[in-house]
Amino acid sequence: MVRVMVVDDHPIWREGVARDLAERGVDVVATAPDGAAAVRIARAVRPDVVLMDLQLPELSGAEATAQVRAALPDTQVLVLSASTEHGDVLGAVRAGATGYLTKSAAMEELVDAIGRTAAGQAVFSPGLAGLVLGEYRRREAEAPDEPQLTPRETEVLRLVAKGLTARAIAARLTLSHRTVENHVQNSLRKLQLTNRVELTRYAIERGLDADD
């Protein structure tokens, strides 16, 4: 069973989501009302997935995400926010969140997203895909030395942004479902590479996987 922690500063929302998740068989192991508490509690309970709001008191959602990911590499962060503030969302993804849903997402969607996040998959909304595409375009112009998207990854992201499911993308590009997931994940991972060690490791992995 996936162990989840819910971080949100609105008590009604926080408790409501926790209760609904529990009803659907998700193990909610903790809740936290602010970023600092989230980091502290996460270190103690080691959840599989942290459901993170972005606009939090004490420590922002992005900063809390970075600290949780640094302390607990096996814990994944899924952003669940009412905010569509582009900078906030990109910040959280760069800090290591692997998914983003708005609070208007249906409960089924959320449960499904938690499952996929726990399995290490990326949870991409079309909106997030648009932001990530934009971020790489900016990079292309301003920081050409940093990792860029491959043409295939760009193609996949564009289809995500246009609302196609992974299955539909796989069918359209005649790829396996799994390969589509990998392309999406890679596009996120390259945004999160911030230091030389990570870049080198990434390059080596790429080299080893080149025949794939």
Partner 1 sequence: MTTADVSLRARAHPHLVPLWRGLVVYRAVALVAVVVNLVRFHDQWARPSLGIAVVAAMAVWTVVSSTRYLRTGDPVTACLDLVLTALATASTLLVDTPQRVADGGPVITTVWSAGPVLALAIALGWRGGLAGALVTVTVLFGVRRVVDTDLLFDAQLLLVAGLAVGLAADTMRRSVEKLRAATALEAATAERERLARDIHDGVLQVLSLIKRRGDELARTDRDAPGLELARLAGEQEVALRRLITSTPVAGPDGTVDLSSRLAGVVPAHASLAVPAEPVLLPAAVVDELAAVVREAAHNAAAHAGEDAGLWVLVEDDAARVTVSLRDDGVGIPEGRLEQAAAEGHLGVAGSMRGRVQGLGGTIDLHTAPGEGTEWEIMVPRSLRSRHRQ
Binders of partner 1 among residues 111 to 140 (CB under 8 A) are: 125-131, 133-135, 137-138, 140
Quick one: which of 85, 198, 205, 209 contacts partner 1 (CB under 8 A)?
A: 85
Q: Choose, by CB under 8 A, the member of 22, 27, 84, 167 that binds partner 1.
A: 84
For the purposes of burial, counting CB atoms within 10 Å of the CB of 151, is it exposed (0-12), middle (13-18) or buried (19 or more)?
exposed
Amino acid, single-letter form, for residue 205: E
Helices assigned H by DSSP within the chain: 11-23, 35-45, 61-71, 86-94, 107-118, 126-142, 151-161, 166-173, 177-192, 196-209
Part of the chain binding partner 1 (CB under 8 A), chosen from 39-47, 70-78, 159-167, 182-190 = 159-167
Range 171-210, binding partner 1 (CB under 8 A): none
- Each residue 16-35 as x (binds partner 1 by CB under 8 A) or -, in order, gives xx--x---------------
With binding defined as CB under 8 A, does residue 82 bind partner 1?
Answer: yes
Kindly state the number of chain residues that form the binding site for partner 1, as judged by CB under 8 A: 38
143: helix, coil or strand? Answer: coil
Establish if 103 lies at the interface with partner 1 (CB under 8 A).
yes
Interaction of residue 169 with partner 1, rule CB under 8 A = no
Angstrom distances, CA of residue 148 to CA of 120, 124, 145, 190: 22, 18, 8, 8
Give the pair of three-digit tokens for residue 27.
Answer: 């193990």
Contact 52, 30 (CB under 8 A): no
Angle CA 197–203–205, to nearest 5: 105
CB nearer partner 1, residue 106 or residue 210: 106
> Of the two residues 53 and 72, which places its CB atom closer to partner 1 in the complex?
53
Task: Tell me if 97 contacts partner 1 by CB under 8 A.
Answer: no
- The DSSP-derived string for 18-47 is HHHHHHTT-EEEEEESSHHHHHHHHHHH--
Residue 152 found at the interface with partner 1 (CB under 8 A): no
Binding site for partner 1 (CB under 8 A): 10, 12-13, 16-17, 20, 55, 82-87, 89-90, 103-104, 106-107, 125-131, 133-135, 137-138, 140-141, 158, 161-164
